Structure 1
Amino acid sequence: VFFSFLYLLVSSFIFSGSFSFQVVSSSRASSLSHQLHAQLTGVSALNDTSLVDVKGTDLGLIFAHQGHHFFVFGDTFGFGSGFASNWRSNTMAYSVDSDPSDGILLRGWITDPLSHNASELISSLKVDYLEMTCIPTTAFSYDDKMFIYYMSVKHWYETGGLWDCNNASIAVSIDNGKTFTKMANISWPGDGNFVQFGWAQPGSLLSSNEYLYLLATPAGRFKACYLCRVPFTAILNQFSYEYFSGLDPSGAPQWSSSFTAAHSIFPAPVGELSVMWNAYLQKWTVFYTDNVMLSINIRLADHLWGPWSKPYKIVDASEYPSLYGSFVHPDFVENNGERVYFIMSIFSVYNSFVMSVNLSSLKNITPTSSTGFSSLSILLFTGSGFSVAVLFFSRKSQRHRQP
């Protein structure tokens, strides 16, 4: 299956110029005890989503705001034929349900005042190769405002996990989600390493003198993970962002004002990440999609800049084909994080589900550098209508850039 996937990946696309990336397999990832609790969206969900014309959607980023938990979804479609009816690039629901063990009841949605259907938060042109859609990647509340980091997708490729982006930016709401304004002064390039963000949720109240830390990946699901930070008071000043650029001789993290100087904190493939401090483990945890092994994984670290543990597999496509996404929040845990609930998407039914994982087997894990993984580098050269793929396989002990 793995080599069939690689063949499909290489043969399905022709890139202009050259394209290269490295994949580090999570084939050694351990399986953790997990459970599906309920469907969150769609016809078969606990909530009657037909009332707001939501037949299919995905993602489900979670953040708390003024006593509610909000769930931010991606491309959303209504009760028509396929992926066409009442297309909204993103939608948002809210809940006061604090017990996800029997599913999560959504109290309501942000809706259009005329149609009363779930409304689009962040607009998009919906024109292929120009701007296909705008997809939320992380969201949080600060100073009574809602912040959504999003990516402007230029084109989806037919092979899952590959897409091109125009840029990444931030949209802000000052009216509890009724309207969002795009920050035109903020833009990370779509071909850079900071396109899909995941904010590091600390699990405690924030103060204005603290930094907002964000893990990030490039467009798609086949690249490595990076780290940046910004003072909470300067979230909307892009010049205030600092990017992790390695360790100094004493082992302390170094920060650069240039995103091009950033060092990866753990290797590819990483997609749809979600980050939080786990009080039970006393570790940072990152949940993410591995689009090579087709699994949802977790890694652990004492510090956001690493070293990060090897990946531990939570669930894979043998159980839930076409799975992706694993969004967490510190409020949706049991025993301080021994069990963590997360929102997972399944593309074949195009909806989101409430899952959980038991992390007790990771209680005494000491994160160390990722070593001994199988690695793959792919370099595609194109010209005059044809492409040549050069595959390099290696198995070696390697230490990735990390603190």
Structure 2
Amino acid sequence: MLKIKSIRDLGPQFVKNDHKMVGQDGSYSIPLNGKCLWFFGDTLIGKRIPGESLWYPGGEKIGPESMAGTGGIEQMLTNTGLLISNNNAENGLHEFEYIREPDGSLKQLIPLKPDENPDEFRIWCLHGIKLKEKLYLFYQKIEMLGEGDILPVNFKILGSGLSVGSDKDWNFNRLTKNGSDLIWREREPQFASAVFHSLKDDFIYLYGVIANEAGVQQCYICRVNPNDFENFNSYEYLVDENNVWDKDLKKAIPIFTGMPNELSVSYNNYLGKYLSVHSLDLTGKIVARTADNPWGPWSHPITIKQIKVKRKLDLKYPTLIYAAKEHPYLSKNDGKKIYITYIEFEEYFPHLLEVEFE
């Protein structure tokens, strides 16, 4: 059984920056050649008003529109990225460089299309992978809705897709299937919440999440040969836990449950197991699972840490912990020591933990 020796809280990351970036979520890491791309979701530019929540400027709940011009926020980008060249995270992540436009402003890596009104739609980050000279970034297309019943924001997932570009000019184009850039639709697993390239069998395994009719978040898996990565008809989905695959998504079976959406999957040499890390629903728990194969069978979730937050403000929504995942690029001692980020919605920066296994 997985046992934790120690945990160090390294706090929120990227807070001190040169771009007036005052909050961002998502926080996926994608190794490149000697560097690592960190891919983020909604990114806020401007300033924070002391004693005021980002989500309740002037005491009023934000609406579905872009937050640009709201409170102290000057600009809102729905996905951004930065590069880290140092994989030593023992004292936090300090040596980083945001990907920028020619004028020095932060660049939205997957831009909105002309018919995607920023007050209605957002393109949120998922995971990605670099294959030869191409860099692939998965994403979700989001439609913003009216006020939520509990949370200050409410949205609808329209589907997920894949963009391709280069880490030389950072320009990305969305790939299409049957004329649509939504490769997986609203009621289908949203690939890829995690990407894992197995050197053992040279398959790329993709993990996608969707809620069932009872509202239970379920994770599915598909695989593809790297040479067929842009051929979506070649993707195979797990249809039986005994390593049986089929190209018919309707036959796919879930491999585990309980993640809000984001997760990580890696092979941990120290454990001799595949390792998945994710938030456990909205409980505030960060959990890990292990398996002998990328598709499982996966263990029950083992709690790494219960996140507890002491709020400074009297807020109108419950504590929201999400987006937990491991960053294998940062791991030490063959994975005996790993690094995990999560997002606490009010703090709204990637919060870094160092976890050492027994």
Whether these two folds match at TM > 0.5 is yes
Q: Which AA in structure 1 matches 2:224?
A: V
What is the match of residue 64 of structure 2? none
What is the match of residue 189 of structure 2? 193
1:153 aligns with 2:145: no
Give the Å deviation of 1:299. 0.6
Alpha carbons 1:228, 1:241 under 8 Å: kept: yes
Normalised to the residue count of structure 2, the TM-score between the two structures is 0.80
Give the Å deviation of 1:291. 2.1
Q: Which AA in structure 1 matches 2:269?
A: A
Higher relative contact order (CA 8 A, sep 6+): 1
Alpha carbons 2:328, 2:339 under 8 Å: kept: no
2:10 to 14, 20, 37: 37
2:176 to 184, 200, 221: 184
Distance in 2, matches of 1:74 and 1:282, equals 32
2:109 to 89, 114, 121: 121
CA deviation profile, 1:209-250 (whole Å, cap 9, x unmatched): 821001210279941111100111111111010000014xxx
1:316 to 295, 306, 325: 306
Q: Which AA in structure 2 matches 1:200?
A: F
Normalised to the residue count of structure 1, the TM-score between the two structures is 0.72
Percent same amino acid at aligned positions?
22
Q: Structure 1 residues 349, 184: CA separation in 2 closer, same or farther (over 3 Å shift)? A: same
Q: Which AA in structure 1 matches 2:43?
A: T
Alpha carbons 1:33, 1:314 under 8 Å: kept: no
Deviates more, 1:139-148 or 1:32-41: 32-41
- Unaligned 5+ residue runs, structure 2? 49-53, 55-66, 69-73, 311-318
Distance in 1, matches of 2:141 and 2:339, equals 28
What is the match of residue 72 of structure 1? 39
The ranges of structure 1 where at least 4 consecutive aligned residues each deviate by more than 4 angstroms after the TM superposition are 29-32, 159-163, 219-222
Secondary structure of the structure 1 residue equivalent to 2:138: strand
Give the Å deviation of 1:331. 2.6
Q: Structure 1 residues 195, 213: CA separation in 2 closer, same or farther (over 3 Å shift)? A: closer
Alpha carbons 2:265, 2:277 under 8 Å: kept: yes
Distance in 2, matches of 1:162 and 1:307, equals 34
Secondary structure of the structure 2 residue equivalent to 1:59: coil
Distance in 2, matches of 1:268 and 1:330, equals 21
Deviates more, 1:290-299 or 1:238-247: 290-299
Distance in 1, matches of 2:197 and 2:330, equals 12
Alpha carbons 1:295, 1:316 under 8 Å: kept: yes
Q: Which AA in structure 2 matches 1:338?
A: K
Q: Which AA in structure 2 matches 1:233?
A: N
What is the match of residue 171 of structure 1? 163
CA deviation profile, 1:40-96 (whole Å, cap 9, x unmatched): 123xxxxx32x2231111121111112111111110010146443211010000011
Give the Å deviation of 1:127. 4.8
Q: Structure 1 residues 68, 155: CA separation in 2 closer, same or farther (over 3 Å shift)? A: same
What is the match of residue 231 of structure 1? 225
Q: Structure 1 residues 107, 267: CA separation in 2 closer, same or farther (over 3 Å shift)? A: closer
Q: Structure 1 residues 32, 294: CA separation in 2 closer, same or farther (over 3 Å shift)? A: farther
Alpha carbons 1:288, 1:325 under 8 Å: kept: yes
Q: Which AA in structure 1 matches 2:284?
A: L
Question: How many residues matched?
Answer: 315
Give the Å deviation of 1:190. 1.7
CA deviation profile, 1:356-377 (whole Å, cap 9, x unmatched): 22222xxxxxxxxxxxxxxxxx
Secondary structure of the structure 2 residue equivalent to 1:314: strand
Alpha carbons 2:291, 2:299 under 8 Å: kept: yes
Secondary structure of the structure 1 residue equivalent to 2:108: coil
1:289 to 268, 279, 284: 279
1:112 aligns with 2:101: yes
2:324 to 323, 326, 331: 326
1:246 aligns with 2:236: no
What is the match of residue 137 of structure 1? 126
What is the match of residue 352 of structure 2? 354
Alpha carbons 1:60, 1:343 under 8 Å: kept: yes
Alpha carbons 1:146, 1:176 under 8 Å: kept: no
Q: Which AA in structure 1 matches 2:176?
A: A
Secondary structure of the structure 1 residue equivalent to 2:329: coil
Distance in 1, matches of 2:330 and 2:228, equals 28
Q: Structure 1 residues 271, 33: CA separation in 2 closer, same or farther (over 3 Å shift)? A: farther
Give the Å deviation of 1:155. 3.1
Distance in 2, matches of 1:225 and 1:102, equals 33
Distance in 1, matches of 2:139 and 2:293, equals 25
Q: Which AA in structure 1 matches 2:280?
A: D
Distance in 2, matches of 1:132 and 1:195, equals 19
- Unaligned 5+ residue runs, structure 1? 1-28, 43-47, 361-403
Give the Å deviation of 1:112. 1.2
1:258 aligns with 2:248: yes
Distance in 2, matches of 1:167 and 1:190, equals 5
